[in-house]
Structure 1
């Protein structure tokens, strides 16, 4: 069985290399100088997702091998701050997509996931079990106002108000500019994680009506610890947007979020556990190379079988 996305060595980020297929396997060619090129072979069979950053070129034979090994390929910005496009292998399981659609199309399950998303933002806060979605939205608004106030006081800023006006972009203060740029970076890495899982970025549980609704849902889980502190720290920056992107690129800060994003998404879509063992997985999830037929009573049935009545 191919490794799951949550396993170690699931994501690999490359930039400024040429990815080719040779007689041994898929390798990254690194141009050290005019006379020297180093080769680094990629463990394609152990990769769930290959992230291609700036300056990367890849050959068709290399893409074919990655697809054959079930590896998703996502084109991203430097340090993962954007997700431009993704190539999903035919062998990628639809298990998580089916879970997402089933939860999204059921109003009770969708509400349950939306409530749990809000609860994840509050972390250890003592919330009553009977709290409603309307109440959670109100509590989230209060929490963000309090967080803005604390960060503003820490950085010696006067009263802060979150504003997002694309038509008045240049007139915004440095914190708002940095926050918008940092949020876009966070959306990129979340988008890459969702593509690697084979999920639809459009089917959100809190947000709705946009192609990236689910991206916004998941990104909101991490803003309080990632984008907000960074944006307020740049309140004196002359170029807060560029600086925010640069800070996120340093040490691949956003890429380090990937395993956590995967765990959280799987936890939301499968409330019982994120640590599904091979023995516990449904048969249709294990047989990812097989096509199945849907049946309203039996669920997934094997394809390639003649179901004509016996004796006819």
Structure 2
């Protein structure tokens, strides 16, 4: 581009500003990356999200300004001391970037800003499956089949499969503790008293909470509801908990015991966040979620089912 062209462009942009015209390029559904192609999440605390003429920007407590490519980010996790402008919320919603309000280091999940979706097709499919007892059990069976690929789950009730899962998870904790040489007295978390847990439990709690926020965002982004589950019931986000159990073994449990050894007894929140994010990217988790949810609900090549 020549200097003359650059100067003319700068003058044109300045004239647009004076006339009050927007410089935003209109975002369309076709121009947005799919869930599987997005960066999983960014955690922010003690600062402000706002916009200027071209982008959403983060201003931290020390005055540093970082521009965020929100169309390529799946979730923004807002921790303590953050604020966000009305215009920033509008632009992020248009880009299908979900905003979650969380506690420090994502240890508590407070609320989520639901982004609008193009239609309710996926939500309707989820509702139909959840409202029929036989269909609901079949979806649950597909989810359990992922964790018990060699087991015969035909004819098993939901209660029986949940019992199998509880036994499997307890054994998994003991197996990982032995594998990594960690002491383990059982899963324990007292709400509001994170600091009382041992190191492994602290790491598990932090990563589980972050996973819930990420899944909530992905579920909303795909047009499903986190409030309609197939295994869990009576909780705020049953479908999130259904899906989280699919990924916890590799993403949370294995990583927690691994980090317990590396941290040498001292909890390091930055290390936990960095390693958790790395593993999400290595696992291609968002791509998995994008494939798994429709497979579980309607049946597919990756789900496993009596009906296949």
Alignment partners' CA distance in 2, 1:48 and 1:180:
24
The answer to whether the aligner puts 1:120 opposite 2:146 as a matched pair is yes
Deviation per CA, 1:174-226, whole angstroms, max 9, x where unpaired?
44444344323322322232233343322211111111222211111111112
| Residue 174 of structure 2: aligned partner | 149
- Structure 2 gap segments, 5+ residues each: 1-28, 303-308
Pick aligned residue for 2:229 from 204, 210, 224? 204
CA apart distance, 1:107: 0.9
Could you say what secondary structure the match of 1:220 adopts?
Answer: helix
| Residue 86 of structure 2: aligned partner | 60
| Residue 111 of structure 2: aligned partner | 85
- Is the alpha carbon distance of 1:41 and 1:214 closer, same or farther for their aligned partners in structure 2, counting shifts above 3 Å? closer
Alignment partners' CA distance in 1, 2:68 and 2:252:
35
Instruction: Supply the RMSD in Å over aligned alpha carbons.
Output: 3.9
Alignment partners' CA distance in 2, 1:202 and 1:110:
14
- Is the alpha carbon distance of 1:190 and 1:31 closer, same or farther for their aligned partners in structure 2, counting shifts above 3 Å? closer
- Is the alpha carbon distance of 1:27 and 1:94 closer, same or farther for their aligned partners in structure 2, counting shifts above 3 Å? same
Alignment partners' CA distance in 2, 1:111 and 1:28:
45
The answer to whether the aligner puts 1:258 opposite 2:258 as a matched pair is no
The answer to whether the aligner puts 1:224 opposite 2:249 as a matched pair is yes
TM-score by length of 2: 0.66
Could you say what secondary structure the match of 2:100 adopts?
Answer: strand
CA apart distance, 1:61: 2.7
CA apart distance, 1:131: 4.9
Going by fraction, where is helix more abundant, 1 or 2? 2
- Structure 1 gap segments, 5+ residues each: 275-312
The answer to whether the aligner puts 1:95 opposite 2:124 as a matched pair is no
TM-score by length of 1: 0.66
**1:4–1:48 CA contact under 8 A, matched in 2:** no
**2:35–2:221 CA contact under 8 A, matched in 1:** no
Farther off after superposition, 140-149 or 12-21: 12-21
| Residue 207 of structure 2: aligned partner | 182
The answer to whether the aligner puts 1:26 opposite 2:46 as a matched pair is no
**1:31–1:38 CA contact under 8 A, matched in 2:** yes
Pick aligned residue for 1:13 from 3, 24, 42? 42
**2:36–2:288 CA contact under 8 A, matched in 1:** no
- Is the alpha carbon distance of 1:269 and 1:72 closer, same or farther for their aligned partners in structure 2, counting shifts above 3 Å? farther
Alignment partners' CA distance in 1, 2:183 and 2:70:
52
Give the number of aligned pairs: 263
CA apart distance, 1:108: 1.3
Alignment partners' CA distance in 2, 1:32 and 1:166:
29
- Is the alpha carbon distance of 1:8 and 1:101 closer, same or farther for their aligned partners in structure 2, counting shifts above 3 Å? same
Deviation per CA, 1:78-133, whole angstroms, max 9, x where unpaired?
776654433334454322222221111111111011111111123xx322362513
The answer to whether the aligner puts 1:105 opposite 2:131 as a matched pair is yes
| Residue 278 of structure 1: aligned partner | none
| Residue 269 of structure 1: aligned partner | 297
Greater relative CO (CA pairs within 8 A, separation 6+): 2
| Residue 130 of structure 1: aligned partner | 154
**1:19–1:29 CA contact under 8 A, matched in 2:** yes
Farther off after superposition, 224-233 or 107-116: 224-233
